[in-house]
Structure formats: structure tokens, C-alpha cells
Amino acid sequence: MNCRSEVLEVSVEGRQVDEAMLALLHTILLHRSTGKFHYKKEGTYSIGTVGTQDVDCDFIDFTLVRVSSDELDRVIRKAVAEFKDALGNSGSDGMGQISLEFYQKKKSRWPFSDECIPWEVWSIKVNVVNLANEQERQICREKVGEKLGEKVINIVEVINRHEYLPKMPTQSEVYNVFDTSLKDVQPYLYKITYQITDSLGTSVSTTMRRLIKDTLAL
Amino acid sequence: MDSDLSSQDRKDLDKFIKFFALKTVQIIVQARLGEKISTCSSSSPTGSDWFNLAIKDIPEVTHESKKALAGQLPGIGRSMCVEISLKTSEGDSMELETWCLEMNEKCDKDIKVSYTVYNRLSLLLKSLLAITRVTPAYKLSRKQGHDYVILYRIYFGDVQLTGLGEGFQSVRVGVVGTPIGTITLSCAYRTNLALMSSRQFERTGPIMGIIIDHFVERPFTNMAHMHPCSYRTPGEDEGGTYAGIEDSQEVCTTSFSTSPPSQVMPSLSGEMHSDVLCMCGTQVTTTSLDLPFAAFTPRANDLEVNDPMVHPPPSPAPSSPLQGSLHSNSSSHSGGQPQDDFVMVDFKPAFSKDDLLPMDLGTFYREFQNPPQLASLSIDVSAQSMAEDLDSLPEKLAIYEKNIDEFDAFVDTLQ
């Protein structure tokens, strides 16, 4: 099975990074979260209810819709804050990428650890721009709002292709498919990673790959 | 075509489609209320949350949806549409978007109804939640208030897009294949909002100074929330294509305010549609009821004379009504109030009632506002002309000479 990979690109001002990332990540997670499963004796299960919340952005003319789960929101905000700090500290031209990867765990025999097999990866490439004056910032507010709207439409388009989704698991397998750690909702197993592109325009991982290739070629 | 589908599956599918349609309308209408929506997640299933999503049901909206469906379901050739439009305080309206729930003939026979179709419909509702915040009408609906309100209309049958103006865009929310056809949900939205730059529709002060002067005639006597949708008579310039859906046409147009419905009801005539809910959070609808001297404003019977619900006005202007009305102050629905910069006000002081006092308090006040004229400055004297003054001068001088001793004595007393 091939992992589905989608790339979204946005250009934002420094103070818009948090909200732009939250908007896109929450939109994806809204579609990739279900209510909590409650398994019954006969192997059937019922699903809890997912609530939603509108959140107005402060620095962008945009309102995002997220799953009503403060726990999940905290986790995502923490990841986005780390990404933003890394972007700020890198001394680069402000380019980076944050990835949201959905995966399944596959049990392996001892001594091998469980495999994590991604089935969908969303990569959000960010380009941070600096603006000179308030007028430009105001225009940026609106433009970025429109861009995020287009990205939401892109996300929805991909989701609604109804391509591969992990099969609904039995009770013993649920931990291999869903993140059951939250008390109110149940997203598919996911992880968030990020890369910062250095000022040469190459990402750190690309540089590493090149080094390894060069070493092997010798 | 349906022979492969068990009767239980068919029943389930019909139920899913029905509730999907109802929830779709709820999501769209709630997204145009002008406020942020928030519902809670619940880990214990109550069994009453369709598609495992917490979507509140506004009873009036459900009622209107069911009325539009009239016992039918969206199907092939029978689309369910929710039209969102904007109505200004001057009575002009403009369609902003049309959400269409349609079904085409492409069937997916192998799909599991109770599981896959249900989950995909749930996913589609989530997509709808996201997309409704992204189309241009969302921002407009968040700013609705004094200048305009957002209305909705549900209809069943053929999709009408002619009112969206030139160059309208379409966005597909999603599709779900079922054994009886493929459900598609999409939105066509107007892009030609050039006349409606956001500046014009930011919240500004009240147009007619209604808060300052309670005795100005209410400017929004003919506000949209009073109008049923059938106010838009067939044969108007938007193509007159209502013939196909007249029989199932949505009758109620509602706009939304944050005041609870009970506040709006009392002052309006009995013709008001029972489903009207006002939820556009401004003083437009609440101000008139919060007026301290509301009893002195035109009475309900007078309103009825002007109320188009009772006496439908002539067809409104053609499809770009705002072009004329925003720049000129004329309005075919004016309640007689001149819309100049200066408002002519009849001074009616508080607590005054004509039929009780012999003299109107206002007249009394005007008459005794200034102190009376001095006798020496009476009209008789001042009316004399200069020539007459000069003629009478020698006589006056003679009198003064005669009494000269008196004058001298007076001057002595002063020294």
C-alpha cells in the first residue's frame, strides 16, 4: 500500500505562523477524528459524538473549525509553537515544513519493535515574509485568509476522494489504528514532525541524504 | 437497480439521506447566523447525535426543511437547495450563494450502507462545516447588522443559479456513492461583490439616529425578517424561473438576531409568519422594542398599512438592485421618511397627549419660551417710520423745554 502524500504551501508573516498552521492542522484532524469507541460484547461498537468549535484568528481574516477537544488543541498548539521557535531560531530565511503523518502500527515479532506504517502524510510548507508597514500587514491579513480558504478546499477535496482508510479495528487492535489517549475524541494515530530549511535552500534532511549517498558512492 | 439492496438497507439508506439533508441545512443556516458556533464532544454516545456529530437542531430550521421536502427525499432530478441572500436596510436584496444537495445516477452497488455510507456522510458533514466558513458569505454574515441581514430559503427541485450574477464560482464539498445513486454536495457563490466592499457593510452607527431621537419613524419598517419568501413574486427579472418549484417553494424567510424570538413578536402585526426568528445581533430589531416611549411610535395598525406582508409591494428591482440603491437615497419601500442628511423631526415632547390637555404642552412651551416684549418696544412705536419721527420731533422738543426745571432738579439729585 502506498502512502498518500499531500503538500500544501503558504506564505505568511511571522506572527501569522501559529494561526495558519493551527488552521490547516485542525482542519485535517477534524476529518481524521472520530468519537470515542465503546466496544460491546458481541464485537460491535458504538461511537461517541464529536463537537466542533469556531475559532477566530487574531492575525488573519479567517475562522477555523476544530474538533471540540481542549486536550487535542493543546497538543497541536505545543507542536506548532515548537515549529515556530525552530523557524525563528534557525537564522534561515524563514522557510520550513511541518508534517502531519497518519500511521498504523503493525505488531512485529520480538525482538523487533512495532512498525509504524504511514498511510497519509500532509506536509505544510511555510515561507515567512517580513512586511514593512501596517498597510502591507492589513493586506496580508486578508490575502492569507483567502489562501487558507483555498487550502481548506484542497484538503476537503483530497479527503472526499475516499481513498484508503484503515479498516475499523477490533477492540484488541484499536490501539494500532487510533490514538485512544484523549478522553473526548479519537483521532487516527498521528505524529507531527518538522524540518527547517537552511539559508542555502536545502533542508537538513536533504543534506544528510546527500552525505550518505556520497559516502556510499566512494 | 435496487434489487440488490435489501429492504432493511433501503430503509436505512432513506433514513440516512433524510437526516443528512436536515443536518446539511442546519449547518449551512447556523453558519450564517453571524456568530461563532460551538458544540461539545461527548465520549458516551447518546444515540441521538446523527452521524456522530454534535449539530444542534434549530426547530424552525428543521420545520422549514421538512416543509420544503414535503415528505420526499433528495434524489435523482430532485435537488434540495439552500439559498443564502443578503437584504439591505433599504429593501434591496442579492443572492450570495446556493448550496445544492443533488443525486446523480452513478451507483455503487457494493458499498455497505450501514457502515461505509454512514461514515462517509459524516465526513461530508465535517467538510461542510469547514467549507461554510470559507466562502465569501461567511464574512458578510459575521458583519450583518444595521445595514443588512442574511436570509435563507430552502427549495426542492431544479437548481436556480441565475441570481448569483456573472462569473459565480463553484466549490464541491464532496460526494458519497450509494447503491441508489451518488450524493453530491456543492456550493455556487457570487463573486461579483464589487458593490459590496466590506467597508460599506462594517458596523456603523444607526442610519436614522433612532437611538438619539425616539420619535423618528422606524427606518426598518419593511425589514426582511417580516417578509415571507413568497414576497419574491414570480416573473421578476431574475429569469422568472420559479414555475418549477412554486409548489414546494419555501414560504418563510428568516433573518437572525441575538434577541430571543419573544422580544420581536409583540409589536408586529398578526400576519407575521410564525417561524420568524430574528438573530442578527444588532439593534435593528431590538431597538424599536427597547424605545422608552415605544407607545408614541406609530401604532401596529399604522405599520400594517406599510407592511408588505399584508400588502405585497410591487416586484423589486432587477438583479443588481444595489447599484441604484446604494448611491441614491430613493427606496421603493420607504415608509415616507426622507433620507436626507437632515432629518425633519416633529417635536413631540414626552408625556404629551393631545386629547387630555386643553393646550398642547408643545404650544404652551413655544409661547412662553421667551419673555414677553417690553411695552416701550411695542409694535406701535417701532412701526413708525423715520419721516414720522422727524415730524414729531419739534413737538417733543417743545414739551421738554417746558419741563426743563424738572430735568435740572433730577440731574441735581444725581450729583
Place of cell 463537537: A51
Residue A217 has pLDDT above 70, yes or no: no
Q: Considering only CB atoms, which chain A residues are within 8 Å of B124?
A: 160
Cell numbers for A162: 475516499
Report the residue from B47, B53, B131 with minimal CB separation from A153: B131
How much is the average pLDDT of A99-118? 86
Instruction: Choose the weakest-confidence range: A109-118, B275-284, B289-298.
Output: B275-284
DSSP secondary-structure letter at B97? E
Q: Minimal Cα–Cα distance from B131 to chain A, Å?
A: 7
Number of Cβ within a 10 Å radius of residue A31: 21
Q: Considering only CB atoms, which chain B residues are within 8 Å of A160?
A: 123-124, 127, 172-175
According to the model, what pLDDT value does residue B234 have? 31
According to the model, what pLDDT value does residue B97 have? 95
Q: Do A67 and B41 touch (CB under 8 A)?
A: yes
CA distance B55 to B225: 24
Q: Phi and psi dihedrals of B137, rounded to 5? A: -65, -20
Q: Do B127 and A53 touch (CB under 8 A)?
A: no
Q: Considering only CB atoms, which chain A residues are within 8 Å of B129?
A: 30, 52, 65
Q: Please, are residues A62 and A23 in contact by the beta-carbon 8 Å criterion?
A: yes
Q: Is B174 on the interface with A (CB under 8 A)?
A: yes
Q: Which residue has the higher pLDDT, B141 or B354?
A: B141
Q: Considering only CB atoms, which chain A residues are within 8 Å of B123?
A: 31, 159-160, 162
Complex ipTM: 0.90
How much is the average pLDDT of B380-388? 59
According to the model, what pLDDT value does residue A65 have? 97
Residues 6+ apart with CB under 8 A from B380: none
The tens digit of pLDDT for each residue in A24-38 reads 999 999 999 999 998
Q: What angle do CA B251, B255, B260 make, to 5 degrees?
A: 115
Q: Minimal Cα–Cα distance from A142 to chain B, Å?
A: 11
DSSP string, A155-217: HHHHHTT----PPPP-GGGGGGTB---SSSEEEBSEEEEEEEE-TTS-BHHHHHHHHHHHHHH
A119, part of any domain: yes
Q: Is B40 on the interface with A (CB under 8 A)?
A: yes
Residues 6+ apart with CB under 8 A from A81: A18
Q: Which domains does chain B have, with CATH numbers?
A: 7-189 (3.30.900.10)
Q: What is the mean pLDDT of chain A?
A: 88
Interface contacts (A, B; CB < 8 Å): 114
What is the percentage of chain B residues whose pLDDT exceeds 90? 32
Q: Please, are residues B246 and B237 in contact by the beta-carbon 8 Å criterion?
A: no
Best residue of A50, A64, A183 to probe chain B, by most B CBs closer than 10 Å: A50
Place of cell 419673555: B371
DSSP string, B176-218: EEETTEEEEEEEEE----GGG-GGGGS--S-TT-TTT-TTSPP
Report the residue from B45, B124, B134 with minimal CB separation from A46: B45
Q: Is B28 on the interface with A (CB under 8 A)?
A: no
CA distances from B101 to B24, B58, B367 (A): 8, 20, 69
According to the model, what pLDDT value does residue B263 have? 35
Q: Considering only CB atoms, which chain B residues are within 8 Å of A159?
A: 123, 127, 174
CA distance B188 to B209: 38
User: Each residue of A179-190: b (16+ CB within 10 Å) or e?
Assistant: beebebbbbbbb
Helix (H) or strand (E) holding A12: strand A4-13
Q: Mark out the alpha helices in B134-282 (DSSP H runs).
A: 136-142, 261-264
Q: Minimal Cα–Cα distance from B43 to chain A, Å?
A: 5
CA distances from A95 to A89, A132, A195 (A): 12, 19, 9
Q: Please, are residues B194 and B112 in contact by the beta-carbon 8 Å criterion?
A: no
Q: Please, are residues A137 and A53 in contact by the beta-carbon 8 Å criterion?
A: no
The tens digit of pLDDT for each residue in A50-70 reads 999 999 999 999 999 999 999
* Three-class HEC string of A73-142: HHHHHHHHHHHHHHHHHCCCCCEEEEEEEEEEEECCCCCCCCEEEEEEEEEEEEEEECCCCHHHHHHHHH
Residues 6+ apart with CB under 8 A from A57: A16, A19, A23, A63, A64, A145
According to the model, what pLDDT value does residue A90 have? 74
CA distances from B367 to B68, B269, B346, B372 (A): 63, 39, 17, 9
Q: Name which of B285, B279, B308, B278 is nearest B219 in CA terms.
A: B285
A212, part of any domain: no
Q: Considering only CB atoms, which chain B residues are within 8 Å of A49?
A: 41-42, 45-46, 49, 52-54
Alpha-carbon torsion, ordered A129, A133, A138, A144, to 10 deg = -10
**Residues of B (135-154) whose Cβ lies below 8 Å from A:** 135, 138-139, 142
CA distance B294 to B289: 7
Q: Please, are residues A183 and B42 in contact by the beta-carbon 8 Å criterion?
A: no
Q: Considering only CB atoms, which chain A residues are within 8 Å of B40?
A: 51, 68
Q: Minimal Cα–Cα distance from A34 to chain B, Å?
A: 8
Cell numbers for A96: 520550513
pLDDT band at A145 (very low <50, low <70, confident <90, very high): very high
Axis crossing angle, helix B118-131 with helix A134-159, rounded to the nearest 10? 170
Local structure of A35: helix, strand or coil: strand
Domain count, chain A: 1
Best residue of A66, A156, A168, A177 to probe chain B, by most B CBs closer than 10 Å: A156
Q: Name which of B84, B74, B123, B97 is nearest B186 in CA terms.
A: B97
Place of cell 453558519: B31
CA distances from B99 to A41, B29, B135, B169, B300 (A): 42, 11, 11, 12, 37
Q: Considering only CB atoms, which chain B residues are within 8 Å of A30?
A: 126, 129-130
Report the residue from A31, A34, A48 with minimal CB separation from B42: A48
Report the residue from B46, B123, B142 with minimal CB separation from A49: B46
CA distance A112 to B277: 63
**Residues of B (99-128) whose Cβ lies below 8 Å from A:** 115, 120, 123-124, 126-127
CA distance A144 to A13: 9
C-alpha B17: how far from its chain's center? 32
The tens digit of pLDDT for each residue in B308-357 reads 444 444 443 333 333 333 333 333 333 344 444 555 665 555 665 555 55
CA distance B215 to B296: 8
A196, part of any domain: yes
| Residue in B closest to A168 by C-alpha | B115
Q: Which residue has the higher pLDDT, A119 or B378?
A: A119
Q: Name which of B246, B280, B242 is nearest B264 in CA terms.
A: B280
According to the model, what pLDDT value does residue A215 have? 59
Dihedral (CA of A175, A181, A186, A191) sign: negative
Q: Do B123 and A64 touch (CB under 8 A)?
A: no
| Cα Rg, chain B, nearest whole Å | 34
Q: Do A159 and B45 touch (CB under 8 A)?
A: no
Report the residue from A36, A50, A65 with minimal CB separation from B54: A50
Cell numbers for A52: 466542533
Best residue of A36, A38, A160 to probe chain B, by most B CBs closer than 10 Å: A160
Q: Considering only CB atoms, which chain A residues are within 8 Å of B138?
A: 63
Q: Considering only CB atoms, which chain A residues are within 8 Å of B36?
A: 53-56, 63
User: Each residue of B287-297: b (16+ CB within 10 Å) or e?
Assistant: bbeebeeeeeb
Q: Minimal Cα–Cα distance from B78 to chain A, Å?
A: 23
Cell numbers for B291: 424605545
Range of the domain at A179: 4-207
Q: Please, are residues B216 and B208 in contact by the beta-carbon 8 Å criterion?
A: yes
According to the model, what pLDDT value does residue B330 have? 37
Q: Minimal Cα–Cα distance from A45 to chain B, Å?
A: 10
The tens digit of pLDDT for each residue in B175-230 reads 999 999 999 999 999 987 755 544 444 444 333 322 323 333 333 333 333 222 32
CA distance B204 to B194: 19
Q: Mark out the alpha helices in B249-353 (DSSP H runs).
A: 261-264, 283-290, 300-306, 321-325
Q: Minimal Cα–Cα distance from A202 to chain B, Å?
A: 34
A116, part of any domain: yes
Residues 6+ apart with CB under 8 A from A73: A26, A66
Q: Is B38 on the interface with A (CB under 8 A)?
A: yes
pTM of the predicted model, to two decimals?
Answer: 0.65
According to the model, what pLDDT value does residue B1 have? 46
Find the chain A residues whose C-beta atoms sit closer than 8 A to any C-beta of B.
27, 30-31, 34-36, 38, 46-56, 61, 63-65, 67-69, 149, 152-153, 155-157, 159-160, 162, 168, 183-185
